[in-house]
Homo-oligomer: A and B are copies of this chain.
Amino acid sequence: MLHKPGVTEGLAQRVVATRWDDIPAQVRHQAKRSLMNFFAVSLAGCRSSPIEIALRSLAGFSGGRQVTVVGRRERIDALSAAFLNAASANVDDFCDTHVRTVIHPTAPVAAALLAFAEWRQASGPDLLLALVLGNEVEARIGLAISPSHYARGWHITSTCGVFGAAAGSGRLAALSERQMVWALGAAATQSAGLCECLGTPAKSISVGNAARNGLWSALLAEQGFEGPPEPLAGVQGFYHALAETPDLSHVSDGWGEKWEIMATSYKPYPCGFVIHPVLDCVLDWRADHPTADVRRVVVRGHPLLAVRTDRPNISTGREAQVSVQHAVAAALVTGQAGLEQFTDACVRDPNVQALRSKVAVERDESFSTIAAAVEITTADGKVHTLKQAAARGSDANPLSDKDLEGKLRTAAAGWDPHYDATPLIDAIWTLDRNADVGKLTSLAVPR
Contacts and interface: CB of A to CB of B under 8 A. Distances in A.
A335 interface: no
Interface string A180-202: 00100110111111111111111
B186 A202 contact: yes
Nearest to A222: B57
Contacts of A182: 202
11 contacts: A53-B225, A54-B225, A63-B63, A153-B240, A158-B189, A188-B196, A188-B197, A191-B192, A194-B238, A197-B228, A202-B228
A200 B226 contact: yes
A34 interface: no
Contacts of A203: 189
Query: On chain A, which size bracket covers the interface?
Result: 35 or more
A383 to B, nearest CB: 42
A167 interface: no
A355 to B, nearest CB: 31
A203 B231 CA distance: 11
Interface stretch (A73-81, A137-145, A386-394): A73-81
Contacts of A64: 61, 63
Contacts of A231: 194, 196-197, 202
Interface in A190-225: 190-203, 205-206, 209, 213, 216, 219-220, 223-225
A398 interface: no
Given A158-B189, A185-B197, 14 more contacts: A57-B225, A59-B63, A61-B66, A61-B80, A186-B205, A189-B194, A189-B196, A190-B209, A194-B236, A196-B231, A198-B236, A201-B227, A202-B227, A205-B220
A171 interface: no
Contact of A230 (B153, B196, B227): B196
A202 B225 contact: yes
A87 to B, nearest CB: 11
A228 B196 contact: yes
A220 B63 contact: no
Interface string A363-397: 00000000000000000000000000000000000
Contacts of A153: 235-237, 240-241
Contacts of A418: none
Contacts of A236: 153, 194-196, 198
Given A53-B224, A63-B64, A227-B201, A192 B192 contact: yes
A276 interface: no
